[in-house]
Structure 1
Amino acid sequence: MNNTAPPVPQRPTPVGILSPMMWIERGWDDLRANPLPGLAHGLVLTLFGWLLVWVARDQFWLLVGAFSGFLIVAPVLATGLYHISRERMVGRKVGLAEVLTLWRSFDGRLVRFGLLLGLAGTGWVLTSAGLITVWSPVSIQKPVDFLQHVVLVREVGLFEAWLLLGALLAAPVFASSVVALPLLVDKKHVSVHQAVTTSWRAVADHPAPLVWWAVLIAMLVGLGMLTGLVGLIVAIPVIAHASWHAYCDLTGPQSAASMSPN
């Protein structure tokens, strides 16, 4: 599909503490302007999430592992939406067929990156399982066990340590991917190592805005999950589109708005 639309003027802006809110606003604008591809991505990922819940509903660690992998790899599966945002910035409206064509190109860099993220998710599950197995006075086998003996206990300790461990393990994953994924979509000549290095540099240069950005992403995903995953149908494409705009602002003149996509 190659429909043209009026160009959307946008230049990289200085990144400040309010930038993540602007990225969300731009992501919402992208979804409203071209809803079908985004909502299709959100629906497919939500259906997959429901399948995970159904399969692992009575097996706590399997459920945690499945959802950890799902949430970590989901940004890779939504990379087609970066392409939509990129093309909208230069006045083109991309259809779902073009996004599917992009996926069929089978970019090995995205596959390798996805595998690395999957390994990170596995590491989190094994580490957190070890923590709870050693610390919890009872065996945690089902989700209700975790709720009763970890989340709802009066004593402060295990649940807070579990959350802190998750945050510490999630931080390097976020730092490695926040710029890397859209950069890999945007620049075909960039290696995974270069993309990850650029991503870490962006985090080092803008720590406060990107911590706030990570919190916003967690809040949107959390709200989506609290609605029985239905909210993820909208939250996932908004986050994906917003991530493209975050990349553009964080990389400045190297963004797709000012350079060839290749």
Structure 2
Amino acid sequence: MKSTDPALRESRQFGVRAVPVLRPLGWLARGWRDLMHCPGLSLLHGLALALGGTLIFWLARDRFWLLAGAFSGFLLVAPVLATGLYALSRAIERREDASLATVLAAWHPGDTRLVRFGLLLALAGTGWVLTSASLITALAPGVVAKPFDFLRQVVLNDQSHLFEVWLALGALLAAPVFASSLVAIPLLLDRPVSVLGAVFTSWRVVMEHPAPVAFWALLIMGLTLLGMATAMLGLIVILPWLGHASWHAYRDLVRAAG
């Protein structure tokens, strides 16, 4: 416990603001404004992330038992990959130059905090991939190789509750990851706080204001599914939009010290 005491004290330097339940709609509005302010760099981030999702789909196209977990695991790691978008929104907020240099500066080689946090998210994503693949291959009544197999053998199977179990396990992993990263990554970019201090701050936000955070999570999930339903093309716009909006979520929810 002593090892966490400094991080707890560090977290308490940041206040948590109360926001209305519907405030996430305002984050989306401001995120869209930022996207329109620097569309080229924003959409470049979206294209890179969408290509990453497409690559995962292509590599696991005949192994859907792996694809289901791999793609959702990729979405767990995506917030740290959007660090450049947070940097752009911060520059716009400060009325500074929002350029490629701004994005590159966010990944300062001497600051390993974001890399370490990204590795933690990647570890969580890998754990979910392995759990998902093991669950489906072990309990599915037939071979799950293609999307239709997953739909027939897992989702629409009336003889088992595999899909419900799969969703429950996914939520069990995704909820703490979301709670840990809600404001942690923008905070790491914005302030000289430790990874654990940022995570504790993120958890304080979730515990003190669960309703708007839950609404924000639903919006993220719904928009991401919409983007996936358009053969990944919608993600080119939706992912940077959500990235910019996440910066405004951080600025609304956390009262930074000093």
Name the TM-score class by shorter chain: 0.7 to 0.9
Equivalent residue for 2:30, pick from 9, 13, 26:
26
Tell me which amino acid in the other structure corresponds to 1:66. Answer: A
2:78 is equivalent to residue 87 of structure 1: no
For the 8 Å contact 1:61–1:125, the answer to whether it is kept is: no
Q: Which residue of 2 aligns with 1:6?
A: none
Distance between the aligned counterparts of 1:26 and 1:13, measured in 2?
Answer: 18
2:240 is equivalent to residue 237 of structure 1: yes
Taking structure 1 as reference, are residues 34 and 248 closer, same or farther at Cα in structure 2, changes over 3 Å only? same
Taking structure 1 as reference, are residues 156 and 16 closer, same or farther at Cα in structure 2, changes over 3 Å only? farther
- Unpaired segments ≥5 residues, structure 1: 1-11
2:167 is equivalent to residue 168 of structure 1: no
* Cα offset, 1:91, TM superposition: 1.5
Taking structure 1 as reference, are residues 158 and 69 closer, same or farther at Cα in structure 2, changes over 3 Å only? closer
For the 8 Å contact 1:36–1:96, the answer to whether it is kept is: no
* Cα offset, 1:202, TM superposition: 0.5
Equivalent residue for 1:109, pick from 109, 113, 127:
113
Q: Which residue of 2 aligns with 1:210?
A: 213
Equivalent residue for 1:198, pick from 197, 201, 214:
201
After superposition, the C-alpha distances for 1:75-108 in whole angstroms (9 at most, x for unaligned) are 1111111111111112123112331243353631
Greater Cα shift, 63-72 or 78-87: 63-72
Q: Which residue of 1 aligns with 2:103?
A: 99
* Cα offset, 1:153, TM superposition: 2.3
After superposition, the C-alpha distances for 1:175-220 in whole angstroms (9 at most, x for unaligned) are 0000101000101x21100000000001001001101111100111
Counterpart secondary structure, 2:233: coil
% identical equivalent positions: 59
Counterpart secondary structure, 2:107: helix
- Unpaired segments ≥5 residues, structure 2: 1-15
Taking structure 1 as reference, are residues 165 and 214 closer, same or farther at Cα in structure 2, changes over 3 Å only? same
Q: Which residue of 2 aligns with 1:59?
A: 63
Q: TM-score, normalised by structure 1?
A: 0.86
Taking structure 1 as reference, are residues 221 and 32 closer, same or farther at Cα in structure 2, changes over 3 Å only? same
Q: Which residue of 2 aligns with 1:219?
A: 222
